[in-house]
Amino acid sequence: GDSVTQMEGPVTLSEEAFLTINCTYTATGYPSLFWYVQYPGEGLQLLLKATKADDKGSNKGFEATYRKETTSFHLEKGSVQVSDSAVYFCALLKSGGSYIPTFGRGTSLIVHP
């Protein structure tokens, strides 16, 4: 079945450091890929998405590129802030199936001043 694998957390960084959170997936067909973010005490919200190979999603300084050849969708940010501390979820969704997203287990990011 479909699956999403994220790097284990927590990821701990100092403010202004470069961030990479790895995400790889296994799926048949052509899924769309998403990054959702969950700030403390809140539900998830969409951070960015990409719907086809080589697409780059971007938002709030975060970027991720849909790499079909490596089945990856790594999240990056050039300079993190304390306010970026949250849990980040990678997810995929494809047509012709259950239309239920498959989520990774989440990666906690902690940014220190």
Task: Give residues in contact with other proteins (CB under 8 A).
Answer: 30-32, 34, 36, 41-46, 49, 51, 89, 93-95, 98-101, 103-106
Going from the C-alpha of 36 to that of each of 30, 50, 93, 101, 113, the distances in angstroms are: 19, 12, 13, 11, 24
Residue 17 beta carbon to other proteins: minimum distance, rounded to whole angstroms: 25
Residue with smaller CB distance to other proteins, 17 or 97: 97
> With contact defined as beta carbons under 8 Å apart, do 16 and 79 qualify?
yes
> What is the separation of C-alpha 2 from the centre of its chain, rounded to a whole number of angstroms?
16
Residue with smaller CB distance to other proteins, 4 or 111: 4
Tokens describing residue 107:
């990666």
Residue 107 beta carbon to other proteins: minimum distance, rounded to whole angstroms: 10
- CA–CA separation, 25 vs 3, rounded Å? 6
Residue with smaller CB distance to other proteins, 25 or 36: 36
Residue 38 beta carbon to other proteins: minimum distance, rounded to whole angstroms: 8
